[in-house]
A = this chain, B = another copy of it.
């Protein structure tokens, strides 16, 4: 058998296999394998010989074969709605960092928030036998089939920013209700009364939490909830634009926009309508970015700890991969109000003066 291998090898110039190394070092494949994996029991002489052969042939173990034999790929799948949405890059970066540190790599998938695409990718990741999946779930349940496949194949999943009604899995999220609440409370403190909401997709858990927080703050302040001031977007620019077109004519004092992309659309609409922030309306946006501080209006935001989100997601996953059997954990990270200039601070001063 080794003979045949020889023939093939010497023909073209393929990547060397463990057999080539074994032959070169005049040892068995077992020994080579042992050296590759730093097993302690190999004699110094053989270690030297093997290492020399490895260097000479530029041998690199075929991780596919290894994965097949060991039933683990050291790969995690990460499916987000869209890496081009600026909310995700930092999260993905953090995940990749944490994964890399632990010897894992990440396969990136974009679902566009479509169930079909998500299903497709889930199938793919399962087929590729990834060791775990970070899932920014599309709204809706996970099919029974996929639940079964995931549990049969023992592939843990960590839910990112979105819970899934019928999937018991670890979750990493931010305290969105609190974030939205703090944002609206801040707006109210600054004197705003009629506050609009540009929310996310109706059935996405974090969008629901944000709406809760929004309403709660309103109620606590004794302000009425006007359904007409609530707009349901989809976290993309265009829906923010539509929201602006629909909401601004209603002349709200201020608005809470629940993600950056929609804020961009909203501001564009405002510009088109000749309305200015914060003069004509106050605004708090979700998500913070380094560039928000150096352009006008300087947005007041609810910062979400993106890096920690990604990092935590893979750490939860890694625990499961290493056999952690406890019940699902939920890690809730704290958002933070970052006050800048888009809330009509001047207006507050004005009111305060009035009161005095």
Contact = CB atoms under 8 A, between A and B. Distances in A.
Interface of A: 13-16, 58, 60-65, 67-68, 73, 75, 82-86, 88-90, 92-93, 96-97, 100, 105-110, 123-124, 126-129, 145, 148-149, 151-153, 237, 260-261, 264, 267-268, 270-271, 290-291, 293-297
A148 B58 contact: yes
B89 A93 contact: no
A13 B15 CA distance: 36
A73 to B, nearest CB: 7
Contact of A295 (B67, B107, B153, B295): B295
A131 to B, nearest CB: 12
B83 A105 contact: no
Contact of A93 (B58, B84, B129): B84
Copy tally for this chain in the complex stands at 2
B152 A58 contact: yes
A295 B293 contact: no
Nearest to A310: B84
Nearest to A93: B84
A285 to B, nearest CB: 11
Nearest to A66: B127
A14 B148 CA distance: 11
Contact of A84 (B63, B90, B267): B90
Given A107-B107, A108-B96, A62 B127 contact: yes
7 contacts: A14-B152, A58-B149, A60-B123, A64-B73, A68-B68, A83-B83, A84-B89
A89 B96 contact: no
A110 to B, nearest CB: 6
A108 B75 CA distance: 11
A267 B295 contact: yes
Given A67-B64, A153-B14, A268-B294, A105 B128 contact: yes
B110 A108 contact: no
Contacts of A96: 83, 108-110
Which 4 pairs show the lowest CB-CB distances between chains A and B?
A295-B295, A267-B294, A296-B296, A84-B93
